[in-house]
Amino acid sequence: MNFDRVSRFAFAAALSLGFVSLAGLTSNRAARADDTKPYVIENGRVDKHVFNGYRRYGDNCLRCHGPNATGSSYAPDLTDSLKHMTKEQVEETIINGRMDVNTANQNVMPAFGTNPDVVENLDDIYAYLKARSDGALGRGRPKQIGEDDD
Ligand code: HEC
């Protein structure tokens, strides 16, 4: 666990969020073992972090980035973006948003820095997106490890 990164992130988050509770953020992060492969997938089934990320993604991101994070005419394919963005860059973009001022259509990535449903689940959203980007997770609703077959 890299505490320097934790504190830098907490500091950046504190700057941009001001008031959002960081206790949940840091403890969630402390539970994450490996940032380069921040997910566990066994026989196509995902851990609870990835499943939670899938759900939060569906609630907050899907309407622009598409049902499987593969993008839309409005917003980029995140399975592609995650191949060349660092975790910090992804988190920074989610917290602060971004506007592409160079395009004629002015597509906007909203800032989620004051949205606890996103901020408190950043690690899990990242884990879901990374699993999709790595090709470790297919399309659609994943099954959780331990979940019954139906
Ligand atoms: C209202 C539509 C919209 C929503 C909702 C939205 N995004 Fe975006 N997002 C965009 C657009 C448009 C861009 C591209 C902005 C640009 O061109 O700079 C973008 C860019 C990004 C990027 C950078 C991609 C790259 O290749 O540079 C990431 C990462 C991202 N979004 C993640 C998310 C996540 C995670 C969520 C949900 C928490 C989310 N977005 C919700 C519209 C949206």
DSSP string for residues in 115-136: -HHHHTTHHHHHHHHHHHHTTS
**Domain 3-144 bears CATH identifier 1.10.760.10:** yes
Confidence of residue 66 (pLDDT cuts 50, 70, 90): very high
Q: What residue spans define the domains of the chain?
A: 3-144
φ/ψ bin of 43: left (φ > 0), alpha (ψ from -120 to 50), beta (otherwise)? left
* Residue that wins the pLDDT comparison between 100 and 61: 61
Task: Look at residue 99 in the predicted model and tell me its pLDDT.
Answer: 84
Mean pLDDT of the 114-126 span: 98
**What is the per-residue pLDDT for 22?**
45
Read off φ and ψ for residue 7, nearest 5 degrees: -70, -35
**What are the Cα distances from residue 131, in Å, to 105, 125, 135, 140?**
30, 10, 6, 13
What pTM was computed for the model? 0.81
Question: Which neighbouring-strand residues pair with 99?
Answer: 108
Pocket test for ligand 1, best of 109, 114, 117, 123 (most atoms within 8 A of CB): 109
- Is beta strand 41-42 parallel, antiparallel or unpaired with respect to 45-46? antiparallel
Amino acid at 141: R
Mean pLDDT of the chain: 83
Ligand 1 centroid–CA 20 distance in Å is: 21
Tokens describing residue 20: 């959002």
Lowest-pLDDT choice from 5-19, 50-64, 75-89: 5-19
The residue contributing the CA closest to ligand 1 atom 2 is 64
For the segment 17-37, the average pLDDT, to the nearest whole number, is 49
